[in-house]
Amino acid sequence: MFVEVFRLCGVKPGDACAVLSETLTRPDLPQLSMLALQRIGAQPFQLVLPARRLAAPVPVRSTGASDAIAQNKAVVQALAACVFVADCTVEGLQHAAELPQILAGGARVLAVSHEHPEILERCLPRAEDELPVRDAMRRLKSAREMTVASDAGTNLRVNLAGARFGGVWGFSAKPGTLSHWPGGLVLAFPAAGSVNGSLVLDRGDVNLTFKRYLQDPVRLRIEDDYAVEVVGEGLDAEMMRGYLRSWNDREAYAVSHLGWGLNRRARWDAMTFYDKADFNGTELRAFAGNFLYSTGANEVAGRHTLGHFDLPLRGCTVQLDGVAVVERGLLL
């Protein structure tokens, strides 16, 4: 399966390819990457970076912003000089500070989600996955407003003027791009002051930072991007309030990105079957028909923080300029 995906990324015999990992990486992912690149006939090498000392006051998980490179110029230059990089770091390079320099060299980066290979196999990208994501991106880019509603009480309005848009289908053969596997989602990073309303996390919705299905509803009241109130009586709301408060950073309460899932092979219930160490949750960000709301860093809005929640919601209706793309959790 690694051979198939790397070939979708355009890897050819003789290509200089790097396998990037760190001392905390589960060993099967870089091993599979090296074997696949050798089978293709590429010229791979491995970079294994040491784990860094903790810098945050609380556990940090699933940010997509690995700090493993630590601004090491030699590492950046080596990766930028490659045709292809298999990113097997724990958190991934999606939002890493060094990524723009690596992509500027023309490298194609595939972030291999740090989870059990069985998850990667079930969500194996296919060539035909690209078109639906591109179509969703086109719809999103041409829209002026996104609205999100649910029977649980979600009622959001998102002004899309000035937003940055992205879509991931699990591979990319274009130089200077990054994709991640599993893929199958489309996102908007709104400009400052663009999101208002209520977000209601219902029973069975997911807090991927905690790797937990919610047992009790939690309501976020959002004003000009910021969750100004986190309402709920149960443990889920209490934990969420405590985690946000512990950052002592207003930006941790703000919206990072939002969008919806398009991957019909990804499963909402998958987290039930894996230990936390074997599950990073990329599948649940991408399952078809979910509305993904994330808090934390948003470069488009000029906000930077390590505090981060990824929150896939079920049962939502997502509309672009009044036209539904998701109807009560069903991808149209």
pLDDT score recorded for residue 297 = 85
pLDDT above 80 (res 196): yes
158's tokens? 């998102």
In this structure, are residues 280 and 170 in contact, taking their beta carbons and an 8 Å threshold?
no
> What is the percent of the chain with per-residue pLDDT over 70, rounded to a whole number?
100
Q: Please report the beta strands in 224-306, taking only residues with DSSP state E, as ranges in sequence order.
A: 226-231, 255-261, 291-295
pLDDT in tens, 102-151: 999 999 999 999 999 999 999 999 999 999 999 999 999 999 999 999 99
pLDDT score recorded for residue 324 = 98
pLDDT above 90 (res 51): no
CATH numbers and ranges of domains, the chain: 2-112 (3.40.50), 127-331 (no CATH)
Distance CA 87, CA 113 (A): 8
Q: What is the pTM of this model?
A: 0.93
pLDDT in tens, 218-266: 999 999 999 999 999 999 999 999 999 999 999 999 999 999 999 999 9
Distance CA 286, CA 266 (A): 7
Q: Average pLDDT for residues 291-317, to the nearest whole number? A: 92
